Structure 1
Amino acid sequence: MEEHTSPNPAVVHTVPGPPELTEQISQSLDRQNSRLVSKHVADEVERNNKKYWDLFYKRNETRFFKDRNWTVNEFDEFMNEDVGTGVLLEVGCGVGNFIFPLLSWSNIRYIHACDISPRAIEFVKQNPLYNPDKMNAFPCDVTEDSILTEISHGSVDIATLIFVLSAIHPDKFAPVVANLFTLLRPGGIVLFRDYGLYDMAQLRFKPGHKISDKLYMRQDKTR
């Protein structure tokens, strides 16, 4: 465990170290490494990322993910009188399982919501809770500059990445961070949640699904 002292000397943040690499975990990783995704398939998955997520939502519509009602307990930043009453950008909004529950308890003034799947965005707009006067849902690949044309620079108070980074190739993390930095106002914050290293979501993948270190694809070629 590492301790990081904040500017306030009364506050100490404890950051857990990496999980222990047990023999059982090593065996699971060795099985995955016995047959990696070929470069040809990995490149094809990268090129057609939008296509595979669109097909995912064509099959599952709004039924796959549950509403993320846990956010009220996990992200107390939304209770902050400054950023918690401002403008939210949700990256990778899917069909709205994060933003629509948020409406019932937060004081966010305006919501931008984007997803790489145009079909997912259509489901967001079809939701009875969608209010075009207070929401802007649009298809977008956050690894590209196109998001910068949709939102005023320096206008976002909170940006969220909920189970998004694990679906993006690590080589593209830098442009994602750069784009969000451009959109955030001074004092704005980024909230993210994702899978943990060596958790069951990672270890249950069988051979033929590992693209690279910490990057996997599912049977339907989504990541």
Structure 2
Amino acid sequence: MNGGIGLEEEKEAEYYSKDFEWEELRSHVENDPSFSHHLLPFQPQPQPQLLQSDSHAWKRFHIRHSSGKFFKERRYLLKEFPELVSCKENSKVLEVGCGNGSTILPILRGNENIIVYACDCSSEILERAKEIVNDSNVVALRNRFHPFYCDLSVTRFPSWLACNQCRDLNLQTQQSCLSDVRINNNNKANSDDAYSLEGSGCCKGGVDFITLIFTLSAIPLQEMPVSIKECFSILKPGGLLLFRDYGLYDMTMLRFEKSQRVGFREYNRSDGTRSYFFSLDIVRDLFVGAGFTEVELDYCCINSVNRRKGKSMQRVWVHGKFQKPI
């Protein structure tokens, strides 16, 4: 038993990604004078108060929204990325920017043999994610969930996940690299050491999947190539990076004022958090430029209804799958 929402219940729901055509939305936006400030070339101006503390802004965001009311499982992900259900036993997934666990729980429940590593730039939200997984009352979920602190915008992934030697060898042989470090695995759930080393190996040897779900858009555009290359380096050959993020002309983009622009298609919210809105070409250039092979890439265009206000909102997200060459 996986607990919570089962696969049979998931199968009953239909998932649509083409409620409207993106090209029609594009034509509407680009011909509407009220949206013209989104289309103009951006003239950068020194704004250190906006650019120097993106991670701190997200930490504050997570503290403000740490309650269960803000938590909503992304159950649609198993339909978008069925590879997470059909993968081989003991496959490893790295969720980058896990937040409060809205992506983690569906993955753990959808595949009882999968192992999930999850990182975030906020220690507080990692604790919240652990609480949510623990509250599931399914011991098997807790045993397969390994959170750790990492701010991908400023640092590399820890060496216990994939050491330099494994990265350099491109993980082709899947041989454990030797280490004179030994630890006693005593189930310290909070410590990287509790699950970083096994036997005589010095690292996990990388992961089979990486999920980047509404995470890359929070990183400044100029820093994205380095972050994507870091993901590439710890993914096993043949492994998949599963991507979902804000798409160009999404409703939230069109709501930003001109004063909130901090780059071309890049905005700062009133709370200091950042958001970039992707076109397919930009996503393709970023991932292919890092060495990935494109498997799937498209816009998801969804009419989302706010029942309380009785309004229909046109949401645009980018869906992508990218593979590390074998």
One fold, TM greater than 0.5?
A: yes
5+ residue gaps, structure 1: 1-16
Contact kept, 8 Å, 2:161 with 2:234, in 1: the verdict is: yes
- Which residue of structure 1 lines up, in the alignment, with residue 85 of structure 2? 79
- Aligned counterpart in structure 2 of residue 110 of structure 1, from 108, 111, 115: 115
Q: Distance in 2 between matches of 1:207 and 1:162?
A: 26
Q: Distance in 1 between matches of 2:160 and 2:262?
A: 32
- Aligned counterpart in structure 2 of residue 167 of structure 1, from 212, 218, 236: 218
Q: Distance in 2 between matches of 1:46 and 1:148?
A: 25
Letter in 2 for 1:139: Y
Deviation per CA, 1:14-72, whole angstroms, max 9, x where unpaired? xxx973543544534423578x797343x333321121111112211133242111112
Letter in 1 for 2:207: V
Contact kept, 8 Å, 1:145 with 1:179, in 2: the verdict is: no
Q: 1:100 to 1:139 in 2, by over 3 A?
A: same
Contact kept, 8 Å, 1:113 with 1:138, in 2: the verdict is: yes
Letter in 1 for 2:157: I
Q: Secondary structure at the match of 2:239?
A: strand
- Which residue of structure 2 lines up, in the alignment, with residue 137 of structure 1? 147
Contact kept, 8 Å, 1:67 with 1:97, in 2: the verdict is: yes
Q: 1:108 to 1:196 in 2, by over 3 A?
A: farther
Q: Distance in 1 between matches of 2:152 and 2:248?
A: 23
Question: After superposition, where does 1:208-219 map in structure 2 within 5 Å?
Answer: 208-219=259-270
Identity %: 32
- Which residue of structure 1 lines up, in the alignment, with residue 103 of structure 2? 98
Deviation per CA, 1:94-141, whole angstroms, max 9, x where unpaired? 010100122221245311101112211121122314866422212211
Q: Distance in 1 between matches of 2:118 and 2:60?
A: 20
Q: 1:87 to 1:113 in 2, by over 3 A?
A: same
Pick 1 or 2: higher relative contact order, CA cutoff 8 A, min separation 6: 1
- 1:58 equivalent to 2:63? Answer yes
Letter in 1 for 2:126: I
Q: Distance in 2 between matches of 1:182 and 1:19?
A: 35
Q: Distance in 1 between matches of 2:254 and 2:35?
A: 7
- Aligned counterpart in structure 1 of residue 258 of structure 2, from 201, 204, 207: 207
Q: Distance in 2 between matches of 1:169 and 1:216?
A: 10
Give the structure-1-normalised TM-score. 0.79
- Which residue of structure 2 lines up, in the alignment, with residue 222 of structure 1? 273
Residues paired across the two proteins, number: 204
Contact kept, 8 Å, 2:85 with 2:110, in 1: the verdict is: no
Contact kept, 8 Å, 1:156 with 1:188, in 2: the verdict is: yes
- 1:149 equivalent to 2:149? Answer no
Question: After superposition, where does 1:26-37 map in structure 2 within 5 Å?
Answer: 27-32=33-38
Letter in 2 for 1:111: V
Greater Rg, structure 1 or structure 2?
2
Give the structure-2-normalised TM-score. 0.56
Q: 1:28 to 1:89 in 2, by over 3 A?
A: farther
Question: After superposition, where does 1:13-32 map in structure 2 within 5 Å?
Answer: 19=23, 21-22=26-27, 24-25=29-30, 27-32=33-38
Q: 1:33 to 1:22 in 2, by over 3 A?
A: closer
Q: Secondary structure at the match of 2:157?
A: helix
Contact kept, 8 Å, 2:209 with 2:239, in 1: the verdict is: yes
Contact kept, 8 Å, 2:38 with 2:265, in 1: the verdict is: no
User: How much is the aligned-residue C-alpha RMSD, in angstroms?
Assistant: 2.6
